[in-house]
């Protein structure tokens, strides 16, 4: 479990202030960034994640049934796409996190150049 800011930056005696551990700060900062990104996406009504890895650690609200990914491991690597939380038989899946965790299934890419 990620420590809170109060736990990391606790007060110490004036002559010997508490020095927080960098791994704790990094873990806290990463958690904060991930939560902020998910909150911003929800506020905008647009669930777009940079990568599949980012979507896997997100607690995606149950009101959303579709998400878009801009990449798999990195943005623009060709492994992004649209995913839904209804089993459509796709083997390209991921599981989101949190109390609303569920499996997401890639939607077939049917563009103008491909028959439906």
Q: For each of the chain's 116 residues, which pLDDT tens digit applies? A: 788 888 888 887 777 778 889 999 999 888 888 777 767 766 665 688 999 999 999 998 888 888 999 899 998 898 889 999 999 999 999 999 999 999 999 998 765 554 44
Please count the other Cβ atoms lying within 10 Å of the Cβ belonging to residue 58: 22
pTM of the model: 0.58
What's the rounded Cα separation, in Å, for the pair 60 and 100?
Answer: 6
**Cα atoms found within 13 Å of the Cα of residue 12, Cβ hemisphere only:** 8
Q: Residue 115: what pLDDT?
A: 45
Whether the Cβ atoms of residue 76 and residue 82 lie closer than 8 Å to each other: no
- Residue from 31, 32, 30, 68 nearest 51 by CA: 68
Q: Residue 116: what pLDDT?
A: 40
């Amino acid at each position: 479990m990620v420590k809170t800011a109060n736990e990391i930056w606790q007060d110490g005696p004036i002559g010997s202030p508490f020095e927080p551990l960098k791994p704790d700060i990094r873990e806290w900062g990463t958690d904060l960034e991930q939560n902020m990104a998910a909150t911003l996406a929800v506020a905008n009504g647009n669930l777009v994640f940079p990568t599949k890895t980012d979507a896997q650690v997100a607690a995606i609200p149950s009101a959303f049934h579709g998400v878009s990914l801009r990449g798999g491991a990195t943005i623009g690597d060709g492994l992004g796409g649209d995913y839904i939380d209804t089993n459509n038989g796709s083997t390209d899946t991921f599981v989101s996190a949190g109390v609303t965790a569920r499996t997401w299934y890639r939607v077939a890419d049917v563009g103008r150049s491909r028959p439906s």
